[in-house]
């Protein structure tokens, strides 16, 4: 797992040559460390890959207002383009139960939260590949 993360970070960075050490620990069923292996990883060359601009969508271009304290509705604004996958939302309480969910239709969408009890919630906006969460406090 760590080896995969290191390899991915090498491929995504601008490093032409790097050298790293990786330590692998093995444990028995009781949780006791039974072996330790040190491995050296090195990358000497790489190929840059260009992202497919048709399938990428930046969820950080989403604006939620009011920012955190809400009473009646949450407004969601985003910049749609032809490549935008359908956006969905879910509002969960602090116990993890989904209180509201649905699909965001249009560049500006209003989610009515007047039926929710006062408290803290998490608004999660996602497309097919990415997810962004916001803390919401209902008055």
- Residue 87's nearest CA partner among 78, 98, 96, 75 is 78
**What is the span of the domain harbouring residue 90?**
59-138
The verdict on 90 and 116 lying in the same domain is yes
- Beta strands of 6-130 (E only): which ranges? 18-27, 33-43, 63-65, 69-70, 73-77, 87-93, 98-104, 108-112, 119-126
Higher pLDDT among residues 103 and 35, named by residue: 103
pLDDT of residue 5: 44
Collapsing DSSP states into helix, strand and coil, what is residue 11?
A: helix
CB atoms within 10 A of CB 87: 23
Domain presence at residue 48: no
Q: How far apart, in whole angstroms, are the C-alpha atoms of residue 32 and residue 28? A: 6
Domain presence at residue 26: yes
* 19-63: pLDDT as tens digits: 455 566 677 777 776 666 655 555 444 444 444 333 344 555 777
Range 118-134 average pLDDT: 88
Domain presence at residue 54: no
pLDDT at residue 2 is higher than 90: no
pLDDT of residue 90: 95
Domain presence at residue 30: yes
The verdict on 126 and 94 lying in the same domain is yes
| CA neighbours closer than 13 Å in the CB half-sphere of residue 47 | 3
- CA distances 78 to 12, 113, 117, Å, are 27, 19, 27
The verdict on 69 and 127 lying in the same domain is yes
The verdict on 64 and 38 lying in the same domain is no
pLDDT of residue 130: 83
Average pLDDT of the chain is 71
Give the strand pairing for 87-93 and 98-104: antiparallel
pLDDT of residue 13: 46
pLDDT of residue 99: 96
């Amino acid at each position: 797992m760590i080896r995969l993360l290191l390899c991915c970070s090498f491929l995504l960075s601008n490093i032409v040559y790097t050298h790293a050490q990786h330590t692998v620990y093995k444990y028995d069923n009781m949780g006791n460390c039974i072996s330790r292996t040190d491995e050296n990883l090195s990358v000497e060359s790489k190929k840059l890959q260009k992202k497919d601009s048709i399938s990428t969508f930046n969820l950080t271009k989403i604006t939620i207002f009011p920012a955190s304290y809400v009473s009646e509705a949450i407004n969601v604004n985003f910049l749609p383009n032809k490549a935008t996958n359908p956006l969905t939302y879910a509002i969960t309480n602090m116990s993890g139960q989904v209180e509201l969910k649905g699909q965001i239709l249009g560049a500006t969408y209003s989610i009515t939260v007047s039926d929710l009890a006062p408290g803290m919630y998490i608004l999660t906006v996602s497309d097919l590949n990415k997810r962004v969460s916001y803390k919401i406090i209902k008055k």
